[in-house]
């Protein structure tokens, strides 16, 4: 088991604020509205060069049997407890010890997990609290804290570090090879796909209620046999009109775009005809030059004629350069489909890293360019080309007699030649024109 730490507690006690404070990033959405967090959210807590996995969970409810979504939130809390070695149980001085706190304590003790009890909001002076009263919950390690004013957090960090030092397991930081994000509009099956892909039905809450995933969720995948670690990211759906407040809506949008930026590969989930939202997301992926795979979900709902129309409409969008798979999450994805997706992901990752030697690039590319264009009555002539070696994605510079006012169609023409010649399948590339050849050598990649 990884060195996981799980934050639990009822709604609005400050769990997500604590989570963001400890990982020093704004990953969990904070809002006064109850139960904003539904899924488990993962982040890295760094203390003295040690890395721990921190898990944020949704607020604990009392009555959940009649509400399917609430029931699943409770399940997520329990899964978080099960996969952790240490529990941070958060209560607050505003409500004191409630029936819900006592009920959650019974659940935690059932799994026999070491627990730190955190009494939050001690900075609010009108609520007086007596530390000894909280011993009634049955925990010896009690920490009065204020997430808002950073009170007691240093002591908490130190004690977490001391606790894990006693553990025999070594928590060396895993080298993450790459990040994959699953993006798309709401209710396309992103969370179900991730559960199927990771072969864990309980990683993300799945529901037909639009907006079920409202946090950006990070899942760490470790292939022990091949020693390859990567992250799969589940994102909230992007849609223009939300049933939530504008503040939360903007945060969803910003979080998803941020995830696209930090990803190496984006899997775009579509489940019906292509919409403006799909095009918006697709354009963002291409803008940031990320590897692309399109998964069309719920294909079982369409007949053969409709399937052909779907493929045609998607190919018109992606111009046949990116892989497209038709799947159905209605049943668990079989091993053949999962292996096919994994192989495509592997190829896309390699293609993003691919470097073409300057000699090979010039020998092949210059011979293939047949199309000629005039700019200000001058014919554009490409004399030399090379790949920028420090870019994270394939980027090429063409030395020519002209560099300005080159139309997009011609650039696309050159891009398509490079993609086909050197098999950059699944990867957007970038080209630019320069008139000068000065200082070119420091950019040139020479194949060893």
Percentage helix, strand, coil, to 5, in the chain?
35, 20, 45
By CB neighbour count within 10 A (0-12 exposed, 13-18 middle, 19+ buried), where does 215 fall?
buried
- Give the tens place of pLDDT for each residue, 159-203: 999 888 876 444 444 556 788 999 988 778 888 888 788 775 555
Q: What is the pLDDT at residue 36?
A: 45
Q: Determine what percent of the chain is predicted with pLDDT higher than 90.
A: 29
> Tell me, what's the pLDDT at 86?
93
> What's residue 166's pLDDT?
73
Q: How high is the pLDDT of residue 186? A: 79
- Give me 405's structure tokens: 């006012």
Write 388-392 long-range contacts (CB < 8 A, 24+).
388/443, 389/355, 389/443, 389/444, 389/445, 391/430, 392/289, 392/352
Q: Are 414 and 369 in contact (CB under 8 A)?
A: yes
DSSP assignment of 367-419 equals HH-----EETTEE--EEEEEE-TT-SS-EEEEEES--SS--HHHHHHHHHHHH
C-alpha 394/C-alpha 351 separation (Å) is 8
Q: How far apart are CA 310 and CA 315, in angstroms?
A: 9
Dist CA 353 CA 444 (whole Å): 15
Domains of the chain: 4-165 (3.40.50.300), 176-352 (3.40.50.300), 358-443 (3.30.300.20)
Query: Which residues of the chain, if any, have pLDDT below 70?
Result: 1-2, 27-39, 62-70, 167-176, 200-229, 236-252, 319-320, 331-332, 436-448
As a whole number, the mean pLDDT across the chain is 80
Per-residue confidence (pLDDT) for residue 135, from 0 to 100: 81
Instruction: Note the pLDDT tens digit of each residue in 216-273.
Output: 566 666 655 455 567 888 776 655 444 445 555 566 677 778 889 989 999 999 987 7
Map tokens 């928590």 to a residue.
171
Backbone angles phi, psi at 181, to 5 degrees: -115, 145
Does residue 193 contact residue 337 with C-beta atoms inside 8 Å?
A: no
- pLDDT given at position 2: 66
Return the pLDDT at 240. 47
């Amino acid at each position: 088991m990884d060195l996981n730490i799980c934050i639990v507690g009822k709604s609005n006690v400050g769990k997500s604020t604590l989570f963001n404070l400890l990982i020093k990033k704004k990953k969990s959405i904070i809002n006064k509205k109850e139960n904003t967090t539904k899924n488990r959210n993962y982040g890295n807590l760094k203390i003295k060069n040690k890395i721990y996995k921190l898990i944020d969970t949704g607020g604990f409810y009392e009555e959940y049997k009649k509400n399917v979504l609430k029931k699943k939130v409770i399940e997520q809390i329990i899964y978080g407890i099960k996969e952790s070695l240490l529990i941070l149980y958060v209560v607050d001085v505003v409500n004191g010890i409630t029936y819900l706190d006592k009920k959650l304590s019974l659940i935690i003790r059932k799994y026999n997990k070491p627990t730190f009890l955190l009494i939050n909001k001690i900075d609010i002076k009108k609520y007086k609290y007596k530390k000894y009263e909280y011993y009634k919950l049955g925990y010896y390690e009690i920490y009065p804290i204020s997430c808002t004013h950073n009170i007691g957090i240093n002591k908490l960090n130190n004690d977490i570090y001391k606790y894990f030092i006693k553990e025999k397991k070594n928590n060396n930081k895993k080298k993450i090879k790459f990040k994959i994000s699953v993006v798309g509009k709401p209710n396309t099956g992103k969370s179900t796909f991730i559960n199927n892909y990771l072969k864990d039905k309980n990683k993300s809450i799945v529901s037909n209620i639009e907006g079920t995933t409202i946090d950006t969720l990070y899942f760490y995948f470790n292939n022990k046999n091949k020693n390859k670690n990567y992250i799969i990211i589940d994102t909230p759906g992007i849609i223009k009109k939300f049933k939530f407040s504008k503040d939360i809506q903007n945060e969803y949008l910003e979080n998803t775009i941020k995830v696209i930026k930090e990803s190496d590969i984006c899997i775009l989930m579509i489940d019906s005809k292509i919409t403006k939202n799909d095009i918006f997301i697709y354009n963002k992926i291409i803008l940031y030059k990320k590897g692309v795979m399109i998964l069309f979900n719920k294909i079982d709902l369409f007949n053969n004629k409709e399937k052909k129309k779907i493929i045609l409409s998607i190919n018109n969008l992606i111009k046949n350069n990116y892989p497209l798979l038709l799947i159905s999450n209605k049943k668990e994805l079989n091993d053949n489909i999962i292996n096919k997706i994994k192989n495509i992901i592997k190829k896309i990752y390699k293609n993003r890293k691919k470097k073409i030697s300057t000699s090979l690039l010039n020998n092949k590319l210059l011979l293939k360019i047949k199309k000629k264009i005039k700019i200000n009555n001058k014919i554009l002539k490409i004399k030399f080309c090379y790949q920028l070696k420090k870019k994270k994605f394939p980027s090429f510079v063409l030395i020519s007699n002209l560099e300005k006012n080159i139309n997009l169609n011609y650039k696309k023409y050159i891009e398509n030649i490079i993609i086909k010649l050197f098999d950059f399948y699944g990867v957007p590339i970038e080209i630019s024109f320069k008139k000068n050849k000065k200082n070119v050598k420091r950019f040139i990649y020479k194949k060893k």
